[in-house]
Amino acid sequence: MLYDRAGNDTARMPRYLLLMGDGSFDPKGRDGEKSNFISTYQSNESNSPTVSYTSDDFFGLLDANEGGDITNQSQKLDIAVGRIPVATESEAWDVVNKIKNYKDRRQQLLVCNSI
């Protein structure tokens, strides 16, 4: 929706998507485990244990008529997609704080090195 509303205005265009939570091949809980995980894209060979794979790239294909077979080389990601595989809110805050601390320390190092 945000991508479509931005139109050609690159300043309003979303650039990143961060998914927080483990991925799941069974979002409906058919395997008996009740999990509230984020669905993943399943390859066309999802029934084969040796050639199947999952990917979050599907969520970055935002143009009309994209998706489906993500191996189609004509489809390009419109936004960067990342995932932090956390199971609880507490784990999520731990990771967020760790990233913030890393960023702050990196900025301090850059300032020290420029003096």
Mark whether 52 and 97 lie in a shared domain.
no
Same domain, 52 and 80: yes
Same domain, 33 and 54: yes
Say what the pLDDT of residue 95 is: 94
Q: Report pLDDT for 16.
A: 93
> In which domain, by residue range, is 75 found?
2-84
Number of domains in the chain: 2
Same domain flag for 47 and 80: yes
Task: Please give the single-letter amino acid code of residue 7.
Answer: G
Question: pLDDT tens for residues 74-91?
Answer: 788 889 999 898 888 999
According to the model, what pLDDT value does residue 93 have? 94
- 64 and 115 within one domain: no
Q: Which residues of the chain have pLDDT under 50?
A: none
Is residue 6 located within the same domain as residue 23? yes
Q: What is the pLDDT of residue 36?
A: 59
